[in-house]
Amino acid sequence: MFKIGCHLSSSDGYLAMGKTAVSIDANVFQFFTRNPRGGAVKPLDLEDIAAYNAFARENGIAEILAHAPYTLNPCSDKAHLRKFARDTMADDIRRLEHVDRAMYNFHPGSHVGQGTEAGIEMIAAALNEVLFPEQKTLVLLETMAGKGSEVGGRFEEIRAIIDKVMLADKLGVCLDTCHVYDAGYDIVGDLDGVLAEFDRVIGLERLKAIHINDSKNPFGSHKDRHETIGNGALGLEALKAVINHPRLRNLPFYLETPNELEGYRQEIALLRGLYEEA
């Protein structure tokens, strides 16, 4: 079964997102856990979550991806911002424990000049503080474009973080097609080679989700600007190969392209048309 969906607004709650997803023929979706710029969060609405869980079961909605605010920085050089990142992640995970088939995705962070190794240490320390043995929510580290002082642009950096986390069985990876191409992994010319490298360095069993985006910028640009499907540097053929690759085709795919709902509906239909049923 092809699991395909897109980023949705979470402002009206879980049940509303589920209904919106179904209305555009999506069977997975992503959303921000709170305002991506600030930290404001609505009170936990257990009735909405229970209604969503029932709706998702009835309508065949699979894994959903809760995206941490992208302003969180667990490896900031300021202690209060590191604490804010940890507190926010802990609260997000605690809330997600109520939601069926939810995973939690976050950007590892930016070391802001402290160096990649120091950044890796602080990111792992944050995870060691927030993860707990009974949690069922899987936490995904997103592969980054390597913009500025971003950590996570190299597979080795993701692996180094995982290696320092005690409850590493709670961790997975989300591969963003725009980010890895911008980072210098040629998924257009050599998808098999990139996946072999991912497998060697991280292990493909860690790969739990794909952000399926085209890129506005050329290979290795370290920019991170998403483009609509088929209209960027990756192109339709490369993205078709990604969704059909035997090692990827059963994963959930989430569009984060610059679109309103109608654009997402069209891209979901386009990708469904390109997916080869086994």
Question: Where along the sequence are the contacts to Zn ion (CB under 5 A)?
Answer: 224
Among Zn ion, Fe ion, none, the one that 227 touches (CB under a kind-dependent 5 to 8 A) is: none
Tell me which residues in 163-202 interact with Fe ion (CB under 5 A).
176
Among Fe ion, Zn ion, none, the one that 224 touches (CB under a kind-dependent 5 to 8 A) is: Zn ion
Query: Toward Fe ion, which CB reaches closer, 86 or 211?
Result: 211
Structure-token pair, residue 40:
């404001």
Tell me which residues in 92-151 interact with Fe ion (CB under 5 A).
142
Query: Toward Fe ion, which CB reaches closer, 174 or 195?
Result: 174
Among Zn ion, Fe ion, none, the one that 211 touches (CB under a kind-dependent 5 to 8 A) is: Fe ion
- CB of 50 vs Zn ion, minimal distance in Å: 32
Can you tell me the distance from the alpha carbon of 152 to that of 180, in angstroms, rounded to the nearest whole number? 10
Query: Toward Fe ion, which CB reaches closer, 48 or 256?
Result: 256
Query: Toward Zn ion, which CB reaches closer, 92 or 182?
Result: 182
Among 82, 95, 170, 211, binds Fe ion (CB under 5 A): 211
Of 17-25, 52-60, 195-203, 210-218, which part binds Fe ion (CB under 5 A)?
Answer: 210-218
Q: Shortest Cβ contact with Zn ion: which residue? A: 224
Query: Toward Fe ion, which CB reaches closer, 48 or 67?
Result: 67
Q: Where do contacts with Fe ion occur on this chain (CB under 5 A)?
A: 142, 176, 211
